[in-house]
Each structure stands twice: as structure tokens, then as C-alpha cells.
Structure 1
Amino acid sequence: MSKKQYTKPPLPLDEQAQLLLDRGLKGISKEELIQKLGNINYYRLRGYTYPYQNNNVDDTPFLPNSKWEFIWNDYIFDSKLRNLVTDALGHIEVSLRTQLELEMSLAHGSRWYTDLTLAYDEDLFNKNLEELNGHWNRSREIFKEHYENEYDTSYPPPAWMIFETTTFGTVSKIYSNIKKEIPAKTKIANYFGFTKASAKVFISWMQHLNLVRNICAHYSRLFSRSFIVRPMLPTSKPVKWVNDIPAQDRIYISICIITYFLDICAPEFNFRKQLKEVMNICRPAQLPSMGFPTDWKEQDLFMEASE
């Protein structure tokens, strides 16, 4: 069956604004709406207006009692949450890189990432190595220029240089493809509170956080997203954890994982306090769409030391 061609024409800003007003949007003037649409793409804004519209009919009218105030509050809340999560993920990414560079280099030499015998899958190994080298070749870091000016480049750079020019995704994929019987792989998992038996959970958490990071990097909607890559739940709960995860595909589990890791790699970041400040912007009615239980602040994982 052939698919229909997309034929909707582009609309000038005043027509975009009028379309939303004709569909019943309340609480904002046309002039204000035009100004907003000049800075926020109509299609991007649609992700935030969607919950407030009847999407079962073609003209998607706004539901009774829907207000621009609700939509804009969601947009601002999502922006602040995304910024906080981005900052937090930076600490986790740097920590994972550091542990991977350190433990694997001490055990298998400075160029261990070129050793196929350490990997499960040869095709993945080659693909990951190609990505790693590609990031290195495109890098403009001063230490890279120094290495190429001072040293024989027929030898690849040491792990502690090349991994500093790559992405969270490449780091997590390379770690995942290391054979489980390699002791250094287990040492890395141990640093983050996982055993050899629970390493699969650790890997799934890192893969999930990489997806969250990519969403944040593209300034995409985060707070009400349903995630395709769902992290595994630990069979043995960490010392500080939550009573229940209502949904494995919502941002709440991502927040739980981030909070857990920050206690290990950046306890000074005070993520809990900042999270609660951001969550104060969120309307209580939005909590279920994010997978948050109503008593999330009382969970052990989110209790601050002074509480």
C-alpha cells in the first residue's frame, strides 16, 4: 500500500497563530502568539499543545479549560529540567570515560581499544573503532595537535587521549562490547556499585542515559516523553533507591538513575535540591505523564542529608 504525499503548505506566522486561535487556544493574544511562533517552531510547540487538544479529530480543537498558561508552563519546566539533566549527565559521562580509560589501560596497555581479542563482537569492534577514530580525526583539541606534532602518528594515541574526543554513546558501546570475563570490566562496574552479575543492568542504564543525553542535546521534549530504550530494573535494590517504578519508559526512572550515579561520581553537585526546585514549576497534574509517584520526594533516594 502506497503512502500519501505530505502536501501541507508552509504558513506565515500570522496564519499559524490564527490557526491555533481558531482551534480554541485561550489566554494569549494573536500578537503575543506570533512573537512566540517566531522563536519556537509551530511543529515543536505542537509537542506541548498536544495534551490539551482533542487529537482524535482532524482539526484537533483545544479541550475545554485549556489555557496558554498551561502550555507555556510545560515548555519552561521542560527547558529547565532538560538543562539540569544535561549538566548532571556531564558528570556521569566524564566519570565513565575516566574509569574506562584508567582500568582498561592499566590492565591491557595504553592502546587496548585496538585489541580485538578483548571484544565480544568483531563487527561491533570495527564499527566502534571507526567511530572513535573519526571523532579523533575531527577533533581540534590542543592535546591532539600536540600529540600529532610531537609523536609518531603511525601508532594510535593512548586511550586517555582518544576517549576524551569521543561521545558518551561510543564510550558506552565500547564498554558494552568488552568481554565479561575481563577483570577490568568488572572493576569499572564495581566502581559504580554493580557486580559482575549485575553488569547488564549497568550497561542498560548507560545506554538509556545516552539516549536521554541525545534528546537533551537536540533540545527535544523531555518531560513527557515515552522512551524506546527502557533501562533494566535492578533485581537487588541499591541502598538508596525508590519503593516502586510506575513506568520504565518515563523520565522518572531516568531521574532515579541519574540521582544514583551522582552520589558516586559528583556528590557535591547537590542534584536533589536542584531537582526539587525545578519540579516546583511542574503542575501536579503532570506528574503521572512523567511516571512520578505523588510521594516521590519522600522516597529514600530523594531525601537530602539534612532531612
Structure 2
Amino acid sequence: MQMAKVPYSKPALNYADQISQLKARHLHIDDDNKALHLLQTLSYYRLSGYWYPMIKEPKYRHLFKDDSKFSNAFKLYCFDRELKQLVMGDVEKIEIAVRAKMIYIMAMTHGAFWYLDKNLFIDPAAHGKTIKIIEREYKRSDETFIKNFNAKYSDPFPPSWMILEVISFGTLVKLYDNLLPSPTKLSISACFGIDEPTFSSWINSFVSVRNLCAHHARFWNKKMNIHPLVPTTTNHMFITNFTAPHRIPGRPNFLNNQRVYFLASVLIYILNTINPNHSFKEKLHKLLAKYPMIDTKAMGFPDGWESESLWNWKRVCSNRKWYRRYWRYLKKDILLYFETKRIRNYKPTN
């Protein structure tokens, strides 16, 4: 049964009253001056997301568990900030790699201005909307190479290798998702060792997580509004502690693809295909060791996660079998591109 809505009537509290209220609710504050400084610079409401796990049931009473400390809430905040910085740095590497693969493969197959060709896309109306977004981002860009292009050329838009460097990651993913199914599209996802539907769900998740981190929202224990697919097959090592067909006898029936653990596993998998010598998992291990009070289960980490092969994997991902498959796709697309170009340029002798 849904509760009836009521008008919001809670008053604004000054800093002194905020501290008094926290103490009245049994939150231990070691240093009032430090607490005051943090409330002034971070805000009560932002910090409340970090002391919320310390509130005992029923939550609506707002009473803290025994031994709950303001300093621990701040440590949680610091951990979350460092975690977001770590994730953002490596999502950036993936974003750049996706841009690079799209630019090269699509331009080699369909020419410099492929992104303007509506015949390459599933939904022409959605493509038109994306082009309008691209136009806004293009006009807003102050990159030197964009200014030089506009000064020299009469084309309304620059070639894909320029424009795809100035549009947002979200716009790039919209462009990719709307591409018609083809060997070319498959070859892009194949570069990252994953099937196309799973790859699409993963890069869409990265867009959401990137935006969440960029806007400084709480991240560490959040159930995010993302739906990355659990792959049925992969070209490289992935986590195995998932529900069937990935469940291992005796392991938890665990599936939570909306929390940090699954996202971090996806990050590691993709980074392994870009640079097998990346340091993301080592940095995350060190970060968790730096903050031993962190409840990793709240982040979606299952029992025994450290024994997962993905989290210990040191092998180079670029195995020969995978590259043979990739080149088979890419070679077909390149040949198709030149054959199409030859037919278009054909002139009858009569």
C-alpha cells in the first residue's frame, strides 16, 4: 500500500544545530571544529549518504548504531572520492580506445564522412537527432584543428577522425548503437574481445558511470541505474561467480551487475584488451587495503572474489586466435570498401 504524500516541513538548520542534531542521534564527534569545517565545505546532505549505513533499523528513527563516528563517515567519503578518481581515469582510457577503433574501422570501410550517411544507421530519425547534437558540440568546440578546418574547407562538417574527437562519449555511444548490424560493427566490438550486444551494454554503462563520477555523486555502494550484460562467451578470461551458466558448484548464487564489483570486472576485462600491463586492479587492491573498514559486500564483491582468475590474470590478452578472427572481419570490410569504391567510380566506355 502506497503511503499518502505530505508537504515537506523540515526547517533549514545552521551548522551548530546540525552538529547538535547528529550528537542527539548518537553519532560520536571527536572534534567539533573539524566537523564544522567539513559541514561547511562538503554539506550535511552530501555527508549524510556516507553516515547512512551507520544508522540502525528502523531507519526512519535516524538513530545511529553504537560506536558510530563522524570521522568514519568522512573516511567513507574519502574512499569514495579516490575510488571515483581511479575509475574515471581508466574509463577515460576505454573511451579513447573506443573512439580510435570507431574512427579507423568506419573510415576505412565507409569513408571520411560515414557518420553523415543515414543509410548506415538503423533509425534515420534517431540519426538525425544525433547529428543535431554533433552539430552543437562541433560548433561549441574551440579546438585549434576545428578552427583550422573551418578556415580552410567549405564542408559543413569535418571528417570523422576530427569530429569524433570533439563529441561527448555519450554522443559517440549513441552513434555506435544506431549503426546497422554489419561485419564492420562486429569488428569494432571484436577489438575488445566481446560480442556486440554485450559491448554495447558495457559502453553505455561506462557513459552512466562517467557522468555519475563527474557530478561527484556517491558511488562506492550505490546500486546504479545501469544494465551491463553478463556475457555468455568471451575471448578472454572473465569472472565466473555468476548465476547459470556461470555458476560454480559451492559458490554463491551471485548476480549483481549494478554495483562496483561487476563494473570493476568489466573495466579490467576491457583494459586487458587495450593494455595488458594496466595497473587498475593493483590500485584498487591498494585502495581497499588503505581503507580496511570498507564493506566490500555493499560494493557487490562476493566471497572469494580475490581468487577469481580475472583479478589475478597476468597473461597478454592479444592471443593469436583472437587476432586471426579480428583480421578476418577487418579484411572483408576493407576489401568491400575498395570494391564499392571501384564500382562507384566505374565509367562505361560507350
Q: TM-score, normalised by structure 1?
A: 0.92
Residues 305 and 266 of structure 1: is their aligned pair in 2 closer, same or farther, counting only changes over 3 Å? closer
Are 2:153 and 1:156 aligned? no
How much does 1:125 deviate? 0.9
Q: Report the aligned-residue RMSD.
A: 1.9
Determine what percentage of the aligned residue pairs are the same residue.
29
Preserved CA contact (<8 Å) 1:259 1:272: yes
Looking at structure 2, the residues matched to 167 and 64 of structure 1 have their Cα atoms a distance apart, in angstroms, of: 46
User: What is the number of residues matched between the two proteins?
Assistant: 301
The residue number in structure 1 matching 2:279 is 270
Mark the runs of 5 or more structure 2 residues left unpaired by the alignment. 243-253, 316-350
The residue number in structure 2 matching 1:201 is 198
Are 2:127 and 1:125 aligned? yes
How much does 1:285 deviate? 5.7
Are 2:182 and 1:185 aligned? no
Are 2:270 and 1:256 aligned? no
Cα deviation code 1:87-141 (max 9, x no counterpart) = 0001000000111111111111111111111111122212211111111111111
1:78-227 correspondence runs (5 A): 78-152=80-154, 154-181=155-182, 183-194=183-194, 198-227=195-224
Equivalent position SS for 2:228:
coil
Cα deviation code 1:230-287 (max 9, x no counterpart) = 2110011443222214311211010000001111123343212111111213436611
Looking at structure 2, the residues matched to 48 and 206 of structure 1 have their Cα atoms a distance apart, in angstroms, of: 28
How much does 1:2 deviate? 8.3
How much does 1:30 deviate? 2.2
The residue number in structure 2 matching 1:67 is 69
Matching residue's letter, 1:128: T
How much does 1:156 deviate? 1.2
Looking at structure 2, the residues matched to 222 and 51 of structure 1 have their Cα atoms a distance apart, in angstroms, of: 14
The residue number in structure 2 matching 1:302 is 311
Mark the runs of 5 or more structure 1 residues left unpaired by the alignment. none
Looking at structure 1, the residues matched to 216 and 41 of structure 2 have their Cα atoms a distance apart, in angstroms, of: 14
Preserved CA contact (<8 Å) 1:272 1:304: no
Deviates most, 272-281 or 248-257 = 272-281
Looking at structure 1, the residues matched to 70 and 83 of structure 2 have their Cα atoms a distance apart, in angstroms, of: 20
Residues 237 and 131 of structure 1: is their aligned pair in 2 closer, same or farther, counting only changes over 3 Å? same
Looking at structure 2, the residues matched to 294 and 28 of structure 1 have their Cα atoms a distance apart, in angstroms, of: 34
The residue number in structure 2 matching 1:43 is 45
Deviates most, 2-11 or 201-210 = 2-11
2:288 aligned to 253, 269, 279, which one?
Answer: 279
Deviates most, 154-163 or 210-219 = 154-163
How much does 1:294 deviate? 3.2
Equivalent position SS for 1:200:
helix
Equivalent position SS for 2:58:
coil
Preserved CA contact (<8 Å) 2:193 2:236: no
1:7-22 correspondence runs (5 A): 7-22=9-24
Equivalent position SS for 2:164:
helix
How much does 1:304 deviate? 5.1
